[in-house]
Structure 1
Amino acid sequence: MKSAQTPTRKIEGIVPAFGEMPIFAVGQRVKVSDRAPVGHYRVPSYLRGKTAVVEAIMEPKAVNNEEEAFGRNAGAVRHYYRIAVAMTSIWSDYAGSPGDGLRIEVFETWLEGASE
């Protein structure tokens, strides 16, 4: 996947289909959903419930691998986002630099808007 720093452009008079435009923007604060579904999911449990910042919107859009694995996707595409999570928010006893962070790509369905 290559990274895109700006969302797909809108064309006047054209209404994009659901999933065509990114929900979140680069620089926006997001929260990783805190849920415990049964089965194999691609978001590490230690990141669930943590706040992060969107660093990039990944292109091209992709199918939801989790739903696809269970045969429930029907080809709908959405976005992956590269997010940055502060190491100090992941591990409270982190002894490294306070500026250290973890970067990871997370599918749109696992992210929600974070309160400022």
Structure 2
Amino acid sequence: VKAYARRNKLLIISAGFYHSWADKNIACNPFEFLSIVRNANSVITDTFHGSIFAIKYRKNFISYGGNKPKVKYLLESLGLEKSLVEVGYLSNDNTIETTYSNLEAILNPKINESRNYLEQCNTMIL
């Protein structure tokens, strides 16, 4: 990560977690976290929420979270499994580039399914 940041003249900002190797460690609330991701050049994460918000803001990102079932399922179900990488990925002069070309076609039916489910739940409560 450090070598990648140096090669690309980027600052490493760790949001919510302390890492001694980061240029800046920011203890942040959820809204500040969103702002940090939204304004990032690229995102390197191993968390579900880091992945979700990188996708939401259509950031170039990679995830080291392949050993976490929620992260792996999320990326595979959205056709973004190429963003799942192994440790050492950036050491090999790889870049961080994410292709979102099919995302809307995959995501929109899932959003509609979620809305329908919530509407059904609301109908049952009333």
**TM-score if structure 1 supplies the norm length?**
0.24
The structure whose residues are more often strand, as a share, is 1
Of structures 1 and 2, the one scoring higher in RCO (CA 8 A, sep 6+) is 1
For the pair shown, the structure with the greater C-alpha radius of gyration is: 2
